[in-house]
Structures are given as C-alpha cells and as structure tokens.
Amino acid sequence: MYFEVKEARYAGKYQIQLLFEDGCSGVVDVMKFIEEGTALAPLRDPSLFKAFSIEYGTVVWKSHSLDIAPETLYREAIGKEVTFKNQTNAIA
C-alpha cells in the first residue's frame, strides 16, 4: 500500500520524519495524539518516545505495545486522505 512507512527518524521534540512507500515524506507531530487521550500517554517521556521502530508499515513503540495507523501518519505528514480501492469513503 502506498501509505506504508518505509523510513522513520526522530525529528526533535515529539516529531517523526517519515518516508512512505509512494516516495512522499513529511513530519508528524505526535504530541497531538498524546494529548488527545490516554493510550499514548506513556510517550510523554522523551526517552520512550524516541524508542520507536517500523513494523508492518507503521511506527510502533514495542515497550508499550503502541502504534499509530499508517494511514493516519500519511494524512498528518502529507495532508492527503487515504482511500482504499472499492471504497468511496476516506479513511481517517
């Protein structure tokens, strides 16, 4: 899928620079998601936040079994909605 994460690197504070399968790249500020709810709250600790990796085409934090959907990362980094073939609705 064109929105899968191929590369990810720490870009400062709570930001991650991402490169996607389709060649697009951008920066996502994860603090937005940390502040929205408690699931990502452990990532407020900068050392935990920096300990991400890529698995199954998305960014994951293994220490807390956390991830953010790749289509969400794509939308935030590139500014385009992700749509799937045979679907008329965009995935948010």
- For residue 59, the tally of other CB atoms under 10 A from its CB is 20
According to the model, what pLDDT value does residue 45 have?
93
Kindly provide the residue ranges of all beta strands, DSSP E only, lying in 11-84, ordered along the sequence.
Answer: 15-20, 25-29, 53-55, 58-61, 66-67
Q: Number of structural domains, the chain?
A: 1
Which residues constitute the domain of residue 31? Answer: 5-78
According to the model, what pLDDT value does residue 86 have?
62
Kindly report, residue by residue over 34-51, the tens digit of the pLDDT. 998 778 999 999 999 999
Look at residue 52 and tell me whether its pLDDT is greater than 50: yes
Order of strands across the sheet with 25-29?
5-10, 15-20, 25-29
Which residue type is seen at 9?
Answer: R
Q: Is residue 84 part of a domain?
A: no
Q: Is residue 41 part of a domain?
A: yes
Look at residue 89 and tell me whether its pLDDT is greater than 60: no
- Report pTM: 0.84
Look at residue 19 and tell me whether its pLDDT is greater than 70: yes
Q: Is residue 90 part of a domain?
A: no
**Whole-angstrom Cα distance, residue 5 to residue 24?**
10
Q: What CATH number did the domain enclosing 21 receive?
A: 3.30.2020.10
